[in-house]
Amino acid sequence: MTVTNPPNEVREGATPTPSALRSFNLSRDQLPVLASLSVVWIVFAIANDRFLTPGNLTNLALQIVSVGAISVGVVFVLLLGEIDLSAGALSGFAAAIMAVLNVNHGLSVPVAILAAVLGGAVVGTVQGLIITRFALPAFVVTLAGLLVWQGGLLYLLGDSGTINLTDPVYLTMSTSSLPRWAGWLLAAVVVVGYGLTTAQRRRSRRAVGLKIETARALGMRLGLAAVSVTVIVAVLNADRGVPVAVLVLLAFVAIGDLVVRRCPFGRHVIAVGSNTEAARRAGINTKRVRIAVFAISGAMAGAGGVLAASRLLSVYQGSGGSDLLLMAIAGPVIAGTSLFGARGSVWSALSGAVLLGSISNGMDLLSLSSSVKFMVTGLVLVAAVILDSISRQRLAAKPKRPT
């Protein structure tokens, strides 16, 4: 039996080719967003000397937490080739559930938070059931959901229009940071764990005769990871330490990535997003996969709403509104997750949130108006969709390799 070797790996001892860029775990979809992020940071650093200060970068990290959490759920929906327009409004509705249960009914903060996340999951499940049971476009169902959950938010808030969160737990959630020594310890654990995992994967591939990267490329990848983690922790420690809320977001992203890449459910999501009929004939319960994906999106919207409310210490009529939905969808798309399904990474939720958050943060420092911010974000999204379409056309036109 002939073993087929993936084209994006380099055999040890072979001469590196342009595909060796992937030895850094950077796909062609991720490279543009990293290049764009570098340009954005350089431009804003020149325009405002406060942009790259540790204090502002820490604020930037905290600002993207809620959007990034919602985007994790949105990525699963995008991998299906669908869209969830209710995610922003649902995050506000879930936050209102938490606030009402905690402030008005006296339930403990953990119970209220759990109810908010579960409420989001239930709403997502209901929307998924409607979509699959009646074969309706997700666009229509979630657009209706956007209106319904906005109304639900207003109903729960009542005449006051605002519920202030006074429990100290909320303040701790949004402002607590690791001690500086703990930040460095975490960095060491991440780098060592990444190195051990990479080495184990390399040994496993070699054992079954698959292509592996060169020792030089492996060393460069590990070095890049170590330098990146060190710089990030150093910058955050120079201000107030590594925020706990950022660690929560990273945990969401890492778990989501593990599900997509390593679990059967993730492979089923990709299969359904690639070709629903082929997936059905292969024995995949496509309806169940769709319902589960919308349940995940709802749960992550609830988690994002909780994180946003804890940062603002209130839930109000505008919670989940403004440009939140745009940012949650545009971020992953800009970072390489296709609107057409079956292509993308959960990490795009993080990188896209960082890019759009950087643009928003930089424009705030320059005191630009909201109208300019909306136009810039919209133009960036259109550019990302155009590039995505061009990429798909090139892949479709590329001749297939003989087997």
State the architecture of 22-176+243-392 in CATH terms. Answer: Orthogonal Bundle (1.10)
- Residue 338's contacts (CB-CB under 8 Å, 6 or more residues apart) are 78, 344, 388, 391, 392
Higher pLDDT, residue 322 or 195: 195
pLDDT digits (tens, 9 = 90+) for 111-131: 999 999 999 999 999 999 999
**Coil, strand, or helix at residue 292?**
helix
pLDDT digits (tens, 9 = 90+) for 259-274: 999 999 999 999 999 9
Lookup: tokens for 48: 């405002």
**Coil, strand, or helix at residue 100?**
helix
pLDDT digits (tens, 9 = 90+) for 144-156: 999 999 999 999 9
**In terms of pTM, does the model score above 0.85?**
yes
Average pLDDT, the chain: 88
Q: How confident is the model at residue 400 (pLDDT cuts 50, 70, 90)?
A: low
- Residue 260's contacts (CB-CB under 8 Å, 6 or more residues apart) are 75, 76, 79, 266, 269, 270, 345, 346
Using CA atoms, how far apart are residues 118 and 72, in angstroms rounded to an integer?
Answer: 16
pLDDT digits (tens, 9 = 90+) for 200-255: 888 888 888 888 878 888 888 889 889 999 999 999 999 999 999 999 999 999 99
Beta partners for residue 315, in sequence order: 163
Using CA atoms, how far apart are residues 19 and 27, in angstroms rounded to an integer?
Answer: 9
pLDDT at 376: 84
Rg (CA), the chain: 22
Give the closest residue to 57 by CA, choosing from 186, 223, 241.
241
Q: What phi and psi values does residue 243 have, to the nearest 5 degrees? A: -65, 140
Number of CB atoms found within 10 A of residue 273's CB: 25
The DSSP annotation for 110-144 comes to: HHHHHHHHHHHHHHHHHHHHHHHHTT--HHHHHHH
Using CA atoms, how far apart are residues 194 and 222, in angstroms rounded to an integer?
Answer: 8
| Number of helices followed by number of strands (H, E) in the chain | 16, 2
Q: How confident is the model at residue 17 (pLDDT cuts 50, 70, 90)?
A: very low
pLDDT at 18 over 50: no
pLDDT at 219: 86
Q: Contact at 8 Å (CB) between 61 and 236?
A: yes
> Can you tell me which residue has the tokens 């997509």?
260
pLDDT at 350 over 50: yes
pLDDT at 267: 95
Per DSSP, 315 falls in state E
Q: Where in the chain is the domain with CATH 1.10.3470?
A: 22-176+243-392
pLDDT at 211: 85
251 CA to centre of own chain = 11
Q: Contact at 8 Å (CB) between 270 and 342?
A: yes
**Coil, strand, or helix at residue 82?**
coil
pLDDT at 14: 37
The DSSP annotation for 8-31 comes to: T---TTSPP-GGGGGGGT--TTHH
**Coil, strand, or helix at residue 299?**
helix
Would strands 162-164 and 314-316 be described as parallel, antiparallel, or unpaired? antiparallel
- Cα 82 to Cα 131, 136, 167, 381, 402, distances in angstroms: 11, 11, 38, 17, 32
Using CA atoms, how far apart are residues 166 and 100, in angstroms rounded to an integer?
Answer: 12
- Residue 33's contacts (CB-CB under 8 Å, 6 or more residues apart) are 334, 335, 336, 348, 351, 352, 355
